[in-house]
Structure 1
Amino acid sequence: MYTQNFTPITGSLGLSALSAVIPLFVLFVLLGLLKVSARWAALSALIAAIGIAFWVYEMPAVQIASGTLEGAATGFFPIIWIGINAIWLFRLTQLSGHDKVIRGALARLSPDLRVQTLLIAFCFGALLESLAGGGAPVAICAVMLIALGIKPVQAAAICLIADTSPVAFGSLGLPISVLSKVTGLPVHELGVMVGRQTPILALFIPLILIVIADGRRGLKEIWPLALVAGISFATGQAVGSMYLPIELVDISAALLCIGAVVTFLKVWSPERVRETESSAVLGPAIFVPAKNERFEMLQSASTLNSGGGAGIIQGTSSGSRRYSARTLVVARETIELFRAFAPYAIVIALVALSQIKVLKELLELGTSTLHWPLLDVVTPEGRPLGVVNAKFEWLLSAGSIVLFAGCLTIPVLGLSAKQALKVYLKNLGELKWAIFTVCSVVGVAYVMNLSGQIVTLGIWAAQTGPAFAFISPILGWIATSLTGSDTSANALFGVLQITTAHHTGLSDVLLAAANSSGGVVGKAISPQNLTIAAVAVGISGKEGVLFRKVIGWTLLMITIMSVLVLFQSTPVLSWMVPSVHS
């Protein structure tokens, strides 16, 4: 048995905290300053965490090794598992040509690159995050932005920043439900509190995206649409958190945002249009994959129709029939548009079905719960750590649901099982270093948590007293940047936040929610997301470039969040904190 000691260096909290921060220092210095690729930075941080755990915290080597393996296993499933399957799902649409259908549909709304950037990265990305998360919105949306003509680093940076404010309610509200489980606080009150924090970020994020995409000139020209997108999503999140189950908050906010933006584009357009490459190639019409003779006939009909006449399609069984060429083309376009968005519609449908009690109980039969071998860790009070018990929801996890959706999508897109399998294996090969990085980083988190390094840092930060309200979101920011998951950050620091709240007289709901709200900002600089983004846009090994591109924006956002939480802890904004009824 290993008993945690939070002050292993001569009983000094300051010196112990100084040693505990070394793995984080190694990770961010190598990644941000020395331009080391994410995989080697993560591996170096893991070695540092293991060294501190063994030499400073005197954790047995066998338990360190076992804890590292548990972290690596968790890093693969469920964390990177969702990214693997979500990227595969999008690769299928690329193989069938239906990614061009989606771009063509967007071009019909507006040919402007900045407008399409908001639609893809912010609106569509938020919908993807609400359903799956795990880096999927970053990978899928970044590839779509590159197709519009945006440079790879720029596209990745845009998607990393966009995939922040939806994260707290992402993956069907998983971060908040996990936070509720570890803290014992009601899900509804936690959701309401988060809904009074993260929407503030949503107001600014569309403006930031425009600046990254087209600088100050773009902001001057597109700011009305950016405000509509930010306000509509923020309103949807804030109101939804009060009246909807947490599983539906982001879905409703994303759909409201899409509806508001599309409606606004009917009455407004930018004075200067910066055209995308896709609009130049595709024009305003929806692209239809030319995969068979029937489509060639439709093309001929469309050509004839351009002169105002009607095309004649010869039928094989019913003789000659006269059709309106335009009607045929529009019908075909509608079918292809349905097929293009079918993968995501199927994901939504499967997610909804998985929430039905009978089906959910059936899927839960595929869940494995076990005490991780060779791990026996207790707190100084003798309480066993919950992290030593691993749970794998093989069928109910978001990644598995996306995998099922992909399998159902194969015939809809007109692909064969052999083609889909080939794409999946190729996808795994492309993501091998992303998988390695995520497993290493989550291994760091587990070693630091099991040995006591994480708690040492938290106790040290709690010495600030009531001013801890300012630091509270920063802890979530650090934890998410380390694990790549707001859910994992809540599992790591949730109990620490409410324990500090009890010692400082602050609201436990406020600090617990602040951990999750601060964590969403850390998502943008997590090695997991950086690696997935780099792989998706074809700049693997240059994660440090992306880190430097987004770190400034994340520092600005976490400062805003920390100031907001600080004021919410005072009479100035304490009215925003919901009361918990026992």
Structure 2
Amino acid sequence: MWQQLYDPLNQPIWSALAAAIPMVFFLLALTVLRLKALTAAAITLGLSLVMALWLFHMPLSKAVMAALYGVANGLWPIGYIVLMAVWLYRVAVKSGKFEIIRGSIATVSEDQRIQVLLIAFCFGAFLEGVAGFGVPIAICAALLVELGFKPIRAAMLCLVANAAAGAYGAIGIPIIVGAQQGGVTTSALAPMLMAILQLSTLFIPALLVMILDGWRGLRQTWPVVVLIGVLFSGSQALVLWLLGPELVDVVPPLLSMGALALFMRVWRPERVYREPDAPAVSAKRWPLKAVLLAWSPFYILTVIIMVWSLPAIRAVLATGGALAATVLQLPIPGLHLQVQELPPIAMAPHALPALWKIELVGAAGTAILLSVIVTTLTSKTLSLRQSAGQLMVAVRDLWRPLATICLVMAVAYVANFSGTSSTLGLALAETGRAFPLISPVIGWLGVFITGSVVNNNVLFAHLQAVTAGQIGTSQALLVAANTIGGVMAKVVSPQSIAIAAGAVGLVGQESAIMRATLRFSLALLVYACLWTFGLSLLV
């Protein structure tokens, strides 16, 4: 058993600065040095291992196994899900469905500011709610490119739009995990999320339009921007308050897509905005049956994933269920229950589990795979050989982004098991009454390191709650701030950037996407910090 060490230099600030070196390098590598993400991630992993071994005295065998554990989780479930999502998209394009999809989107509006609200904001939020794990970024960014958006702009728009939905993730899991780790109820988190996150979500549609067409675009589209912002954010708040977090990214996006389609039947902007070199809008109108068939890959995906999420199905897959044998839990040798986490990061000393969980049937990737199979079998213009060929193309195009994700996950798991990420959080917690001002920064760091709001809450929600008790402020507020800060980091997390680059064909140009999105992530983070601090003075 090895116990984590959180202050190896006997000075929290200096220990934290040393622990931050790998992460700071990775950020600079993508923004200033403009290295390829794969190269930057490989160097960062080396720095992380050196820091874990030299400064935090982690045994070599455990550091190596932590890195391999991260690689394994990068392959499954994340890599599996992303590969299947891109394969589904390619099958839809190869089968000829996308010409009809593009035409059906144009019937809503040929104005591409409206199309961004429909695809990146509403449809992306819906995919976040039913699948998560980068699926909305992979599919929606590729859809925008097909509609005529430049790849970097398409990736940036989808990443920024995800700030409105990423907190609730697939079936509300990030919020549920945050509540469990922070020792608060989801009902206690709800008003805090509504006060901070739903206010920023209200303005995300306006931000997307301004990215495209500036203030002029906002003046010309303000009726639909106000409609979607108020309806989406308001219905999210209502569902969260009345029903809990599970359907917050399912019901509001559906309502918003329907309202947008209906509103555009009675209103048009005074000027139609089209991206430079965007393909001309076809005047052809497709029959309803053809449109429904064209969109079938995505609602087949939706139905299957929602079925996968039903309690009855989860019970079948749980221990003792009929399909329990399809869930493999492989202990990582030399790491499982061999690293001890200590207070105040944990409530009491406990050994960290290191089980690689492989859900052969219950994984979201398997649901997407079934969607691909159903789509292939129901497409008259697509053979099984052609569908398999699209998988090979996806593997060829995505191996670098997937390798990058695996290396980033390795960095995250080395940071988590060595305690370096906890050192950062503890140092920030030393700020006393000013802590609420930087509470979202801890969440931002957690997601930048791990790529996941869920993992961020596992890592830091308890620390936020403990610190709240020490300084006499609301535990629910700071646990919510941890989640909200994490959402702002999803805009630039290396994992999200790698997925976006792979989806739009910009592998090797991840630094360009990072530079395009970083200012929006930081601006949203500043808002979250100031608003959290203001609320801490009132609650």
Give your verdict on TM over 0.5: yes
The answer to whether 1:399 aligns with 2:365 is yes
Q: Look up the match of 1:296.
A: none
The answer to whether 1:353 aligns with 2:307 is yes
Residue 147 to residue 115, structure 1, CA distance change in 2 (3 Å): same
The residue type equivalent to 2:373 in the other structure is C
Deviating above 6 A after TM superposition, structure 1's stretches of 4 or more consecutive aligned residues are 276-279
Q: Look up the match of 2:321.
A: none
Q: Look up the match of 2:332.
A: 372
Residue 132 to residue 355, structure 1, CA distance change in 2 (3 Å): closer
Residues 39 and 436, structure 1, Cα contact 8 Å, conserved in 2: yes
The answer to whether 1:344 aligns with 2:298 is yes
Q: CA deviation at 1:217?
A: 2.5
Residues 183 and 462, structure 2, Cα contact 8 Å, conserved in 1: no
Q: Look up the match of 2:214.
A: 215
CA distance in 2, matches of 1:89, 1:62: 39
Q: CA deviation at 1:447?
A: 0.8
SS at match of 1:463: helix
Q: CA deviation at 1:246?
A: 2.2
Q: CA deviation at 1:134?
A: 1.8
Q: CA deviation at 1:132?
A: 1.2
The residue type equivalent to 2:450 in the other structure is T
Query: Among 339, 350, 362, which residue is 2:316 paired with?
Result: 362
1:452-503 C-alpha deviation (Å, 9 max, x unpaired): 1111111110111122112111111122122222112112212222222222
Q: Look up the match of 2:430.
A: 463
The residue type equivalent to 2:471 in the other structure is T
CA distance in 1, matches of 2:341, 2:306: 39
Residues 80 and 134, structure 1, Cα contact 8 Å, conserved in 2: no
Return 342-351 or 229-238, whichever deviates more.
342-351
Residues 190 and 509, structure 1, Cα contact 8 Å, conserved in 2: yes
Q: CA deviation at 1:278?
A: 7.0
1:524-549 C-alpha deviation (Å, 9 max, x unpaired): 10111112212222221111111111
Return 561-570 or 65-74, whichever deviates more.
561-570
Residue 515 to residue 380, structure 1, CA distance change in 2 (3 Å): closer
The residue type equivalent to 1:64 in the other structure is A
CA distance in 1, matches of 2:269, 2:250: 28
Q: Look up the match of 1:8.
A: 8
Query: Among 354, 370, 378, which residue is 1:412 paired with?
Result: 378
Q: CA deviation at 1:353?
A: 2.0
Kindly report which structure 2 residues correspond to 1:498-577, keeping only aligned pairs within 5 A, or say none.
498-571=465-538, 574=539
Q: Look up the match of 2:264.
A: 265
SS at match of 1:133: coil
Q: CA deviation at 1:393?
A: 3.2
SS at match of 2:390: helix
Count of aligned pairs between the two proteins:
525
Residue 193 to residue 392, structure 1, CA distance change in 2 (3 Å): farther
CA distance in 2, matches of 1:240, 1:150: 33
Residue 367 to residue 21, structure 1, CA distance change in 2 (3 Å): same
Q: Look up the match of 1:227.
A: 226
CA distance in 2, matches of 1:203, 1:432: 37
The TM-score, its normalising length taken from structure 2, stands at 0.93
CA distance in 1, matches of 2:193, 2:361: 29
Residues 103 and 278, structure 1, Cα contact 8 Å, conserved in 2: no
Q: Look up the match of 1:441.
A: 408
SS at match of 1:57: coil
CA distance in 2, matches of 1:391, 1:188: 30
CA distance in 1, matches of 2:68, 2:209: 42
Residue 184 to residue 232, structure 1, CA distance change in 2 (3 Å): same
> Identity, % of aligned pairs?
36
CA distance in 2, matches of 1:190, 1:81: 32
Residues 107 and 278, structure 1, Cα contact 8 Å, conserved in 2: no
The answer to whether 1:127 aligns with 2:126 is yes
Return 213-222 or 277-286, whichever deviates more.
277-286
The residue type equivalent to 1:397 in the other structure is A
Q: CA deviation at 1:559?
A: 1.0
SS at match of 2:98: helix
The root-mean-square deviation of aligned C-alpha atoms, in Å, is: 1.9
The answer to whether 1:19 aligns with 2:31 is no
Q: Which runs of 5+ in 1 are unaligned?
A: 287-332, 575-582
Residues 442 and 460, structure 2, Cα contact 8 Å, conserved in 1: yes
1:19-57 C-alpha deviation (Å, 9 max, x unpaired): 101011111010111111111111111111110000001
Residue 245 to residue 412, structure 1, CA distance change in 2 (3 Å): farther
Residues 372 and 388, structure 1, Cα contact 8 Å, conserved in 2: yes
CA distance in 2, matches of 1:482, 1:62: 22
Q: CA deviation at 1:281?
A: 4.3
Residues 132 and 171, structure 1, Cα contact 8 Å, conserved in 2: yes
Query: Among 372, 393, 396, which residue is 1:429 paired with?
Result: 396
SS at match of 1:168: coil
The residue type equivalent to 1:351 in the other structure is I
The TM-score, its normalising length taken from structure 1, stands at 0.86
Query: Among 377, 382, 388, which residue is 2:354 paired with?
Result: 388
